[in-house]
Amino acid sequence: KAGVTQTPRYLIKTRGQQVTLSCSPISGHRSVSWYQQTPGQGLQFLFEYFSETQRNKGNFPGRFSGRQFSNSRSEMNVSTLELGDSALYLCASKLQGAADTQYFGPGTRLTVL
Amino acid sequence: EDQVTQSPEALRLQEGESSSLNCSYTVSGLRGLFWYRQDPGKGPEFLFTLYSAGEEKEKERLKATLTKKESFLHITAPKPEDSATYLCAVQAGGTASKLTFGTGTRLQVTL
């Protein structure tokens, strides 16, 4: 079974721009969560989507948004990029149950200049 | 607020030298505790899920245990390929998929 895939793997943007990241979950998985990983803050939860609806949200500003499509694929958007948004953005998928294990993709490395 | 503290921050072992990594947590109603391994530049790789105190799980040289306040990841006779950052995360009841992670233990195993 193919794992979680994320595209692109690397991105370089400048301050003020916006960016869209994509995540394809494991086949059959209906829940997709997004995390931000930085050296200073570690892994932090951004939000979760299930059945095209945001089911849970972390403490990030409104510049961070996402959506999920009917095939469970998800996108995450960051508008008005700031230097502090430079991070590894990780997507994780799971079947659907609350206690199901989340499986992570390889991440998208975003650098904001 | 859910909190996860991992210790030590870094650990250097010689091949074959067994040790344990600690994960202390405070959470309102533990739904699950997860261990992941992360190699540089890659996403976390799932290792174990523990649901209740007293539970233990094993995989090759790794064994995870859980009490009401902490979890241990025991590494028996490690090999250089076990070198990685080991992450612990908790999921609280009623928080859907939100995982709260510790900052990890960076393990280096040398010959």
Contact B34 A55 (CB under 8 A): no
Residue B96, pLDDT > 70, answer no
Query: Which residue is it, tokens 């028996």?
Result: B76
The answer to whether B101 contacts A48, with C-beta atoms less than 8 Å apart, is no
Give the mean model confidence (pLDDT) for residues A87-93.
97
- Backbone Cα Rg of chain A: 13
Return the residue in B97, B101, B103 with the most chain A beta carbons within 10 A, the one to mutate for interface testing.
B97
Interior angle at CA B73, CA B10 and CA B11, nearest 5: 15
Q: Which residues of A touch B91 (CB under 8 A)?
A: 98-99
What are the residues facing B1 on neighbouring strands? none
| CA–CA separation, A65 and A43 (whole Å) | 17
pLDDT for A80: 97
Residue A99's nearest CA partner among B31, B4, B101 is B31
- % pLDDT > 70, chain B: 98
Amino acid at B69: K
The answer for B 43-72 residues in CB contact with A (under 8 A) is 43-46, 49, 51
What tokens appear for A49 in the block?
A: 């989507």
Query: In Å, how far is B46's CA from the nearest CA of chain A?
Result: 6
Question: Residue B43: which of A55, A58, A106 has the nearest Cβ?
Answer: A106
| Predicted local confidence at residue B46, as pLDDT | 96
Q: For position A97, what pLDDT does the model report?
A: 73
